[in-house]
Amino acid sequence: MNIFRSSLFLLLSASLAAQTVTPRARAIHNSAIVVDTHADTPQRFLYENFDIGNTDPKDIGHISLDKARAGNLGAEFFSIWADPETTSGHFAKSTFDMIDSVYEQAARHPDRMMMAFSVADIERAHKQKKLAALMESKAGTPSKTTFTCCATITAWACAT
């Protein structure tokens, strides 16, 4: 899959959420591996004891395995970022704890989520109708964070 097709699928996914679509468009969307390149959810896993298997309808705007399945989200890049202001003095521990929290969610929900370390893993998760969990680290200013996310998805798209 080239970068153009990856971008097209991402745009199609966003437009599907906003409008009624034809059966053909829905079929294209459902056949695609939809990738979200940034979720700050590890901070919620760690500091709020959030469970990605949560089905609380009041948890509006946050990722859940039910929402991921309903929207055909195939892969999520969970962002690992320790806020320098709140993690001063224990930056490394917070970072490792966030990484562990993503692994813990996958272990808690092995029927709906799996860790992914390669394109083959993402494709395997897609075939098994599981959310492929990847991680991306970010550091510094928002502009550096944006670059990291773009570089991560570009590298993934070029590898396919």
- Which tens digit of pLDDT belongs to each residue from 110-145? 999 999 999 999 999 999 999 999 999 876 544 444
Structural domains in the chain, sorted by start: 3-52+62-159 (3.20.20.140)
- pLDDT over 90 for what percent of the chain? 49
- The half-sphere exposure of 59 on its side-chain side, counting CA atoms within 13 A, is 16
Longest dimension (CA), the chain: 54
* pLDDT per residue as tens digits for the range 25-65: 889 888 899 999 999 999 999 989 999 998 887 777 789 99
Dist CA 106 CA 34 (whole Å): 18
DSSP string, 21-89: --HHHHHHHHHS-EEEEEE-HHHHHHHH---TT---TT-TTS--HHHHHHTTEEEEEEEE---TTTSTT
Q: 158 or 89, which is more confident?
A: 89
**Mean pLDDT of the region 9-23:** 64
- Predicted model pTM: 0.73
